[in-house]
C-alpha cells in the first residue's frame, strides 16, 4: 500500500497515524496518507523559520527566477499532475488540467512581482527630508485547502507568499493529498531552497496546530462557511492574519431576451462540471418570466446528455463524487427536494457505471419548481444538482439573490446592456458574470465573495494577496551636511 508522507525541509517525512485514500471511480482504497498533529506542524515551522532567515533576504531576481522555473515545470508535468488529481478526486483529466492552468496563472502573476512590489518615493516633503515606503514579508505563513481543487486553490496562495519572501506550510485535504507532494517536488527541481515550502497532511489536529502555533504569522483557508468562521475566530484570537473563504449558493439568472441554447449550455457546464464540487458551481437557475418553460426544456435535454464515467476515460464529461458520504448526501438531498414538493425532472440517483459499480457515481439531477424555503435551495449541496427557481422580473431575481446568506458568484444571461448594468450594480455578490457562467477572475484580480462566502475582509491572490502576505514600512530620512548646525525643535513636526 502506497503511503503519502509529509514533505518537510525538502524531503519526505513519515508519520504514525494514517487515513485511507480512495479511488472514487472504483470505491477501492488506493493509498494511505499520514495524519500529522502538533509535533509535525512544529517540525515544519522550525524548518520554515530557519529557511525564512535566508529566503526573506534573497533578491527579487532570485525569487522570480525560481517562479519562472516552477511555472515551466508545471507546464511540462501538467498531464502527470492532472492524472494524479483525477485518480484521487474523481474529476476528469481535462478538468484537472484546467485547474492546473488556472493555478499556473497565479504563478505567472508572481513572476512579475518585481514591478508590483515597487514602493513610492516623495522628495523634499520638508526641507532636506524625503519619504519612501516598501513592503516586507511576514515570516512563516500557511494554507489550509479543500479537496475540490487540490492544485489550483493552493496555487492561489503559495506562489505569492513565496515570491514576496515568506516561507509556507500547506495542509491539503487528506482526501486527495498527492498533488501537494508532487508540487513540492517541482518546487525543489525549480531551485527553491529546502524549508521554504512544506506539506503537513492531516485532519483537525493538524488544522488546530496551525491555527494556534505562535510561529505562524498568517493562515489562508478555503472551505465551508462553518469551518471558515472557526478558522477566522481561532487564528485571529492567536494574533494571526486570516484569509477565510467560505461556501456559496451561486445563481444564474436567465432573462427572456437571452439565447436559451447558449445559456443552457453554459449553465449545464457550470452546474455539473467537476460533479458540482466547486465553490463557483451554479446550483440555482433563476428563470425570469417567459424564459422559464423554454429554459427548463433545454436544461432537461442538456442534463440528460452529460456523459458520466471514470475521470480518465475518453469522452467523460463528469466523474464520480469524491467519497461515498458525498454521494449519499447528494442523493438524499434529491429525495428530500421531491418530498418537499419540487419536481425532479432528471434524477441522477442510483447511477451505475459498467465496470465501476462500486464507484461514487451519481448522475446530474435537475429539479424544477424549487422555492426558497426548500432544503435544496437553502443548503450548499456541493454536487451535481441544479435547482430551478422561477421569478417574474429581474428585480425579483436580484432581491432573491440578495436575500441569500451567500454572496460568492452569480451570472446573468441577457442581450440587454441596461439589464446587465442594473444587475451588476444591484446584486450583493463579490464576483459577477455577464453571459459568463463561472466568473472566476484572472490572477491579477482578487478572488473573494461577500456575506457568508468571505469571513473577514481578505480575498486571495491579485493585489489583495500581495497586501496579505506583506506588511508596509514608511521611512522618513534626513541627511544633514556635517558642518550644518541644527537646533532641536520640540514642536510637532510639519511639512513647512
Catalytic residues: 279
Percent helix / strand / coil, the chain, rounded to 5: 40, 25, 40
Nearest to 46 by CA among 216, 165, 212: 216
Nearest to 273 by CA among 411, 371, 149: 149
Q: Which residues contact 451 (CB under 8 A, 6 or more apart)?
A: 404, 405, 406, 407, 428
| Integer Cα distance of 57 and 165 in angstroms | 8
Nearest to 143 by CA among 465, 472, 481: 465
Nearest to 408 by CA among 366, 434, 370, 438: 438
Q: Which residues contact 313 (CB under 8 A, 6 or more apart)?
A: none
Q: Where are the alpha helices (DSSP H) in 289-347?
A: 291-305, 324-339
User: In Å, how far are 244, 266, 368, 384 from 299, measured between CA atoms?
Assistant: 34, 10, 10, 13
User: In Å, how far are 6, 199, 325, 438 from 177, measured between CA atoms?
Assistant: 10, 10, 18, 26
DSSP, collapsed to helix, strand or coil, labels residue 182 as helix
Nearest to 90 by CA among 347, 381, 323, 351: 323
User: In Å, how far are 199, 209, 227, 231, 257 from 234, measured between CA atoms?
Assistant: 21, 11, 10, 5, 48
Q: Which three cell numbers stand for residue 49?
A: 523559520
Amino acid at each position: 500500500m502506497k503511503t503519502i508522507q509529509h514533505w518537510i525541509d525538502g524531503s519526505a517525512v513519515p508519520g504514525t497515524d494514517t487515513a485511507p485514500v480512495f479511488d472514487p471511480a472504483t470505491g477501492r482504497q488506493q493509498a494511505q496518507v499520514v495524519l500529522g498533529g502538533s509535533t509535525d506542524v512544529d517540525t515544519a515551522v522550525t524548518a520554515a523559520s530557519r529557511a525564512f532567515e535566508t529566503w526573506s533576504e534573497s533578491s527579487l531576481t532570485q525569487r522570480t527566477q525560481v517562479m519562472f522555473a516552477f511555472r515551466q515545470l508545471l507546464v511540462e508535468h501538467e498531464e502527470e499532475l492532472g492524472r494524479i488529481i483525477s485518480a484521487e478526486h474523481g474529476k476528469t483529466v481535462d478538468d484537472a488540467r484546467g485547474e492546473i492552468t488556472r493555478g499556473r496563472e497565479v504563478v505567472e502573476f508572481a513572476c512579475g512581482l518585481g514591478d508590483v512590489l515597487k514602493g513610492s518615493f516623495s522628495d523634499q516633503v520638508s526641507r532636506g527630508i524625503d519619504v519612501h515606503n516598501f513592503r516586507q514579508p511576514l515570516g512563516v505563513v500557511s494554507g489550509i485547502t479543500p479537496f475540490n481543487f487540490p492544485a489550483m486553490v493552493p496555487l492561489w496562495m503559495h506562489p505569492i507568499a513565496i515570491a514576496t519572501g515568506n516561507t509556507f506550510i500547506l495542509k491539503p485535504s487528506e482526501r486527495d493529498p498527492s498533488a501537494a507532494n508532487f508540487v513540492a517536488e517541482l518546487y525543489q527541481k525549480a531551485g527553491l531552497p529546502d524549508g521554504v515550502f512544506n506539506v503537513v497532511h492531516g485532519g483537525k489536529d493538524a488544522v488546530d496546530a496551525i491555527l494556534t502555533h505562535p510561529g505562524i504569522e498568517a493562515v489562508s483557508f478555503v472551505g465551508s462557511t462553518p469551518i471558515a468562521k472557526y478558522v477566522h475566530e481561532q487564528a485571529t484570537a492567536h494574533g494571526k492574519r486570516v484569509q477565510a473563504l467560505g461556501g456559496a449558493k451561486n445563481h444564474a439568472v436567465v432573462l427572456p431576451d437571452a439565447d436559451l441554447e447558449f445559456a443552457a449550455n453554459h449553465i449545464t457546464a457550470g452546474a455539473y462540471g467537476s460533479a458540482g464540487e466547486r465553490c463557483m458551481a451554479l446550483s440555482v437557475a433563476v428563470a425570469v418570466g417567459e424564459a422559464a418553460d423554454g429554459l427548463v426544456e433545454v436544461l432537461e435535454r442538456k442534463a440528460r446528455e452529460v456523459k458520466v464515467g471514470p475521470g480518465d476515460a475518453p469522452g467523460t464529461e463528469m466523474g464520480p463524487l469524491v467519497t461515498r458520504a458525498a454521494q449519499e448526501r447528494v442523493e438524499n438531498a434529491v429525495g428530500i427536494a421531491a418530498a418537499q414538493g419540487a419536481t425532479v425532472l432528471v434524477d441522477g440517483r442510483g447511477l451505475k457505471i459498467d465496470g465501476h459499480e462500486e464507484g461514487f457515481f451519481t448522475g446530474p439531477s435537475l429539479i424544477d419548481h424549487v422555492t426558497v424555503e426548500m432544503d435544496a435551495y437553502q443548503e450548499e449541496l456541493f454536487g451535481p444538482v441544479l435547482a430551478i427557481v422561477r421569478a417574474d422580473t429581474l428585480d425579483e431575481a436580484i432581491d432573491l439573490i440578495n436575500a441569500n446568506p451567500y454572496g460568492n458568484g452569480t451570472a446573468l444571461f441577457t442581450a440587454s446592456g441596461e439589464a446587465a448594468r442594473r444587475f451588476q450594480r444591484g446584486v450583493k455578490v463579490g464576483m459577477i458574470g455577464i453571459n459568463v457562467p463561472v466568473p472566476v477572475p484572472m490572477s491579477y484580480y482578487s478572488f473573494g465573495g461577500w456575506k457568508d462566502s468571505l469571513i473577514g475582509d481578505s480575498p486571495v491572490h491579485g493585489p489583495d494577496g500581495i497586501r496579505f502576505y506583506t506588511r508596509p514600512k514608511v521611512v522618513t530620512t534626513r541627511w544633514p551636511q556635517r558642518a550644518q548646525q541644527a537646533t532641536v525643535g520640540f514642536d510637532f513636526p510639519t511639512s513647512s
